[in-house]
Amino acid sequence: MGLLFMFANHKFIKMLNEKKIVVVMPAYNAEKTLEQTYKEIPLDIVDEVILTDDCSKDNTIAKAKELGIKEVLIHEKNKGYGGNQKTCYNRALELGADIIIMLHPDYQYTPKLIHSISYLIANDLYPVVMASRILGMGALKGGMPIIKYVSNRCLTLFENILLHQKLSEYHSGYRAFSAQVLRNINYNVDSDDFIFDNEMLAQIFMKGYEIGEITCPTKYFDDASSINLKRSTIYGLGVIRVSIVYKLCKWKLMYSKLFT
């Protein structure tokens, strides 16, 4: 039985290694949580790790180099959460990635799901995979504030209606893409702020791609990144705007650079 398991596991790894898997980590003040996150990344299948530091005020860069992360990109000025991701994805594509996994370095999401997420894309089951905190009871068990949970559910319902989809959530920061998807959407015109995530998903749906989901536990603690009430409100209004623009463009009643 042990030999059978080893053989099966070897085949699993070999199969995934036919695809170049790159993990990208958009970092901002992640010194305290970076090591714990990085050490859980399954380097048996991950070929490259890219960390982009968005002008952190702590020792994120030094910690990344101490851990041996070879691809450390540094913004001299803060470009924002969306701007940080653009740098990550552009570099991953330059390195010839087949599968790109965006993982926050704040340890709010476990890297232990990378095997499962990669499998879905490597086997052409889905071109995009989201790790959902809402499937199951992961969000509330992990300490998601009730106001964030309710807001998440309301915004997701609104988006599902206007985008004609059935995702459990649109707001997870743990997501993976095939390189083909990233090359076929113009994410570089998206916002440099938090609404980038939502604009990108709308572009993916506009191109006709499907998004798979996998349930994901989450952790809310002092050192995990979180946006304040004001930024959350701006983000929520942005989500509503993106959904309405998507619908109007789908009906050909409006033009937007997001969907060209």
1-15, 31-45, 147-161, 209-223: the lowest-pLDDT one: 1-15
As beta bridge partners, residue 21 has 99
Each residue's pLDDT tens digit, 201-244: 999 999 999 999 999 998 886 665 667 788 899 999 999 999 99
Give 42's contacts (C-beta < 8 A, 6+ positions apart): 111, 112, 114, 115
Token digits for 228? 């304040």
Amino acid in position 104: H
Measured from the Cβ of residue 12, the count of other Cβ atoms closer than 10 Å reads 15
What letters, b where the CB count within 10 A reaches 16 and e where it falls short, cover 128-165? bbbbbbbbeebbeebebeeebeebbeebbebbbebbee
225 close to 104: Cβ distance less than 8 angstroms:
yes
User: Could you give the domains of the chain?
Assistant: 17-259 (3.90.550.10)
Each residue's pLDDT tens digit, 138-161: 788 888 889 989 999 999 999 999
Q: Indicate the pLDDT class of residue 65, thresholds 50, 70 and 90.
A: very high
* C-alpha separations of 162 from 7, 50, 166, 206, 209 in Å: 47, 34, 11, 12, 16
Among the listed residues 194, 206, 177, the one whose alpha carbon sits nearest the alpha carbon of residue 237: 194
Give 107's contacts (C-beta < 8 A, 6+ positions apart): 33, 36, 37, 219, 223, 224
The DSSP 8-state label assigned to residue 111 in this structure reads: G
Helices 229-250 and 196-206, axial angle in degrees (round to 10)? 20
Each residue's pLDDT tens digit, 69-83: 999 999 999 999 999
